[in-house]
Amino acid sequence: MGRDRVAHPATYVALGDLGDPIALLTIFGLGLHAALLARRVRGAILWGIGISALAGLGATRAFALETPLVRFSGVVGAPPSPSGTAFQLDFAGLLARPPVEVLGVLFVFLFLDLFDTIGSLYGLGRQAGLLEDGKLPRARGALAADAAGTALGACLGTSTVTSYVESAAGIAAGGRTGLTAVTCGVAFLCALFLAPLLESIGAGVVVATEPALVTRYPLVAPVLILIGALMLGALRDVRWDDVGEAIPAFPTAALMPLAFSITEWIAWGLIAASLLALVRGRRVPAAVHVLAALFVLRYLFLAE
């Protein structure tokens, strides 16, 4: 299958094996999605994933690949049972931990969830053209819904129910109102009975690498790459000739793919903005300094 990734002694990341079937399917999907979006085809993302899946199945059979690019598991099936995770909360174990340790974990989780949500909502709101004077209208309701979903999802034992940047795909397709979210919710309910089909697309390809097995997602990766491209449009509003904006904007944009976390790029952007404002004697909202200080404390806590 070729190498999963290439580590460079100087840059740590380098170009891998473009002849690898996984890489070829990903590149094919990326070009296909880009072409469909450029042609403004309705449902471009779904069409792209479907065609890429068929191409992966065809390539696996045509070239008799040892590791299938797509494993077809069926179309309709019973919804996955939540009995092993739903409401399996260990409060006794939580209370047995030292209070300082518990508060530290809660503090970190608060930052991760809060700033992941704020970053996602702001970026998506800007893409959708919903911002008013740089602010998201009715943000309180959006944050409350996100918090409720996070708490309920945790009780049910699912992955975090929160605002995701993948919503940019729906915005690119024309979604602008709450009806878009309702439609997605209904589609997710229907998807419970399409678990085998979704598993065929989202399960990924397991690759043997050193020192362990890793999973690659050639059908999903092109979508995420294009979503990132769609969201980069906000950078045009940065005044790059102003050091006070340009320097905080750079770590804000660069650290998301490097640190794989929305929280980290918000943290370093706020810290840089706070320090530059103090050095230059410029006034910024007090919340910037407060949040920057809290992030510094967070990093000091993690360093211990």
Tell me the average pLDDT across 94-103: 77
pLDDT at 211 over 80: no
CA distance 16 to 23: 9
pLDDT at 84 over 80: no
**Structural contact between residues 219 and 46, judged by C-beta atoms closer than 8 angstroms:** no
CA distance 199 to 76: 11
Of 43, 4, 7, 45, the residue nearest 223 (C-alpha) = 45
pLDDT of residue 131: 84
CA dihedral sign of residues 274, 279, 284, 286: positive
**Mean of per-residue pLDDT scores for the chain:** 81
CA distance 157 to 36: 36
CA distance 204 to 219: 8
pLDDT band for position 1 (cuts 50, 70, 90): very low
CA distance 42 to 287: 42
**Range with the lowest mean pLDDT among 19-28, 106-115, 176-185, 271-280?**
106-115
CA distance 301 to 283: 28
**Range with the lowest mean pLDDT among 118-122, 149-153, 183-187?**
118-122
pLDDT of residue 304: 63
pLDDT of residue 81: 72
**Structural contact between residues 291 and 270, judged by C-beta atoms closer than 8 angstroms:** yes
pLDDT tens-digit map of 236-271: 878 888 888 888 888 888 877 777 777 777 788 889
> CB count, 10 Å around CB of 223?
22
pLDDT at 213 over 50: yes
pLDDT tens-digit map of 265-298: 778 888 998 999 999 888 888 888 888 888 888 7
pLDDT band for position 54 (cuts 50, 70, 90): very high
pLDDT at 78 over 90: no
**Range with the lowest mean pLDDT among 4-18, 80-94, 234-248?**
4-18
Tokens of 150: 């996070």
Contacts of 6 (CB under 8 A, 6+ apart): 13, 14, 15, 16, 17
Half-sphere exposure of 291 toward its Cβ, with a 13 Å CA cutoff? 20
- Give one word for 213, left, alpha or beta, with left for phi > 0 and alpha for psi -120 to 50: beta
| Bond into 211 cis (ω within 30) | yes
**Structural contact between residues 2 and 19, judged by C-beta atoms closer than 8 angstroms:** yes
Which DSSP letter does residue 132 get? B
What three-state secondary structure class fits 289? helix
What three-state secondary structure class fits 14? strand
Tell me the average pLDDT across 128-144: 84
The fraction of the chain above a pLDDT of 70, given in percent, is 90
pLDDT of residue 82: 67
pLDDT band for position 181 (cuts 50, 70, 90): confident
**Structural contact between residues 201 and 53, judged by C-beta atoms closer than 8 angstroms:** yes
CA distance 262 to 118: 9
Which DSSP letter does residue 261 get? -
pLDDT tens-digit map of 20-39: 888 899 999 999 999 998 89
pLDDT of residue 2: 40
pLDDT at 48 over 60: yes
What three-state secondary structure class fits 131? coil
**Range with the lowest mean pLDDT among 40-49, 99-108, 156-165, 271-280?**
99-108
